[in-house]
Structure 1
C-alpha cells in the first residue's frame, strides 16, 4: 500500500491557497497538500484558471471539490487532471449552512448512494485517484454501523482512500468552528474501519497535535491529516520528511524558507499579486525564534501597503535574530 499519504495538510478555507501551498512545499517535499475546497459552480461558471492554477513546485497536490451533481463533478475532475492535480477529493465533511444549502459537504453522509454515484462519475472521467473526506457521522446517527455502511457503499464505486474526521458533525446548532471542537473525538471508529476494510487506505483527521501523536496513529491507520496546527506552527513541516517519511532530507530553517520564497514573491508581484496575499501565510514561520514578534509586526503593518515589495520582506527578515531556537514539537489545536 502506498505510503504517500502518511502525512497531509488539511484543506482549509481561506488558508491553503496556492501561496500557502508553495510555502508548505518548501518546508516539506513529501507532505501531501490539499487545496481549499472549490465548488463545482466556481469552476464551471468562471475562469477555471482563477481557481486551479498551481505552481509546479506545489505538486503533487490534491484538489478538494464541493458538489453533489455527478456530471458537474466529473467535468471539474477532468479539468483538474488537465491542470496537473494528482488526486481529486470529494468534501463530505463540511457542516456550514452555506455548504448544506448547496447540498454538499457533511449533509451528503445521509446520502451514501449519491456520493457513490459522484465518485463513479469522476473515476470514469479521470485516471488519477478519487477520494472522499467525511465525518464519522452526522446529527442523530449513533453507533459505528452508520459509518461502516457509508464506507461500504462508496468503496463499491471505486473509492480506495477515505480521510475520516473522527468527530460527528451537527448540521444544526453548531458553527463550523464548534463542529471542529465540540463533538467528541472517536478514533476507535476510524481504526475499526481500517480493520474491517484492510484493503482501503484510511487516513485520520481531528485533534492530532504533534508528530508523536502522528506516529502513534500510524500504528493503526495509513495516514494522518493535520489542519490548523500545521498552519499555526509551520516549522513542524520541516520535520515531516525525516520523521514520518524516513528520508535523509535535511530540514531547513525558517530563514532559509523565506529566502527560497523570495523569487516566487518577486514573480507574483510582477503579475499583480498583492504582497500581503502571500506573506499572511508566513507570519507564523518564526514561532519560538528570537524576533518572531518583530517579524510579524513588520509584515502586518507594511505588507498591505500599495508600495510594498520584496524589500518589505527583507526588512522583516533583518529583524529576526540569526541564531534560531530549536524547533519545539508543539502544535496548536488541530482541525
Structure 2
C-alpha cells in the first residue's frame, strides 16, 4: 500500500464508503461527513490529498477549502471537488479558490484513481526537489570554505552529498601554538533530519572547541565533553554520531586523535598502509564515557587518510561492501598519484555495483610531503 494519506469529505454514506473501499486499496484513507468534521481531523493529521463534495450540511466544500487556504500548513494540500453540480459557475468558483481538480458525479472510478495518482506524483516531485535543495544547503554548511595551508604539507578534502545520505561533517580550528584540530563526523540517520542534526552538532562542536582549547589540547578530554554535551542538550539528546577528533602538530610531524566509533583512518607510507587498532564508543550513547587517544608519526612522505562510511559501505560487484580492507588497498594504490583522492574514488567505483556513490561521502587526505 502507498504511504500517502487521503481525506474523503462526503455526506452521502454510499459514495463515502465506495471511495474509502476503492482508494483504501492503494492509500491510507480517512473520512468525514462535512467540512467541520474534516477540519477536526486535519488538526490531528494533515492529509496528502483531500477529495470533497461541495454541497454538505454545516460546512460545505467551498467553506472548507477557504478555511484551509487561511492556514500556511494546509493551503498547499491538493484538493479535488467531487460533486453533482455540473454547472460552469461552480467549476469556475472552485478554480478561483485554487482547487486542483473537479470531477462531476456520476464519476468514473478509474478516472478518479488516475487523477489522484497524478496529483500525488506531483507532490512527490516537488518534495524531492525541495529536499534536494535543502539537503545541498545543509551539506555546504557542514564544510569550511578553505583548508589550512602549511609548508611541507597538503590537506585535501573531498565531499559528495546524496539526497538520501546522512550528515557528514568536517571542520578545522587553529590553536595559538600553530597546531590544528581537525573534526570529522557522521551523524546517524538519513536524509534531511540527519543533515539538520549534523549542522546543529557542528555548531556546538565549534563553540565547545573554542572554549575548551583554552584549557586542554587533549582530543580524548575534548571528546568526553562533546559526549556529555550531546546527552544533556534538549535538542541533540537523541543524536548519535561517530566522530574523529585529530590534533595535528605540523612541526612535530604528529597526529594525536580520539575516535568515537568512526571509520578508522589509514596511515600510508612508502612501505605500505596500516589501519591503527584504535576506537571507542560512538558519541551520545552513555554518560561519563572515558575516551582514549593515540599518537601517530606523520613522517615526510607519509599520509593519513580519514573518511566516512559512504566509502566502506559502497556495494561492490559481488554484492558485498568495500569494507576497511578494500579502502586500505585502494588508498595504497592511490598514494603515489598526483590527485590521490580522485584516484581513490575512481578505484572504488571501478569495483562498485553502480557507477556513483550511494551515500554521503567525505574523504580527508593529510600528507606530509617528502623532503
Give the TM-score normalised by structure 2.
0.25
Bigger share in helix: 1
User: Which protein shows a greater Rg?
Assistant: 2
Give the TM-score normalised by structure 1.
0.27
Bigger share in strand: 2
Structure with larger RCO (C-alpha < 8 A, sep 6+): 1
